[in-house]
A = this chain, B = another copy of it.
Amino acid sequence: VPPISSRQNALVKRVRRAMREHAGEIVLEGPKQLDDAIAAGWKPIAVLRRGEDVTDDVFDSIADTRSTQGVVGLFERPGSTAAAILSRTATVAVALDAVQDPGNVGTIVRLAAAFDAAGVLLLPGCADPYGPKAIRASAGAVLSVPTAPVTPEELTSSGLMLCAAAAGEASADIPSRNAVLIFGNEGSGVSPLLLDAAARIAIPMSHRVESLNVASAAAILLAESYRRRA
């Protein structure tokens, strides 16, 4: 089969749209990401190699050769659900409340894998965990950690203990299971509605800073939760 040579080819347009929209289909970049995804059970819809499946010119119209090393794969967005994640009560789930920086979202997905959290739930306003920056920051962990959108109501009606990471006095100890750890927006923290519904967990620290970076707070609390579960 000769390589696709038209930028207007239907598959090429579909890949370009997936890169732009991160909706029902997502694009992974580079041979390592593709291998890891397939090893983790992801099924590629299509793989496009520069100069093989598409011409160099068409490939360059889709993606940057350096970051992709000349190969991209189109995948269905993996489908987990909030209910499935919340049902794994032998550990804790993570919920992110408007965490906007994709680097933070990806780093927290990596921490969820390292410390065996049930998954990462995304309240409204979060960066997409399947965007290229988040995938890079997750060091591939996004391929094996379930993520799903969630509403505040799904959390408050879950029957699990809700624990918000917040500055100030703690009202609860760090949980090891049967709980959701909620981490808030980089600037404004956990939103008032959820803060009201949740116990507060805190990290003892000096008064020299007002707060920690959200990924630093997640690292400390998830590591401690894991230690208590062991």
Contacts and interface: CB of A to CB of B under 8 A. Distances in A.
Contacts of A46: none
Nearest to A210: B139
Interface string A61-105: 000000000000000000000000000000000000000000100
Interface string A215-230: 1110110010011001
Interface string A103-142: 1000100110111100000000000000000000101010
Contacts of A172: none
B115 A206 contact: yes
A176 to B, nearest CB: 13
A114 B206 contact: yes
A91 B206 CA distance: 13
A219 B216 CA distance: 5
A107 B216 CA distance: 8
Contacts of A113: 206, 208-209
Most buried by B among A103, A116, A208, A213: A213
Contacts of A114: 205-206, 208-209, 212, 216
A2 interface: no
A185 interface: no
A55 interface: no
Contact of A205 (B103, B139, B215, B226): B226
A216 B216 CA distance: 6
A204 interface: yes
A203 interface: yes
Contacts of A217: 219
Interface in A172-230: 203-206, 208-213, 215-217, 219-220, 223, 226-227, 230
A158 interface: no
A208 B227 CA distance: 16
Contacts of A5: none
Contacts of A219: 212, 215-217, 219-220
Interface of A: 103, 107, 110-111, 113-116, 137, 139, 141, 144, 203-206, 208-213, 215-217, 219-220, 223, 226-227, 230
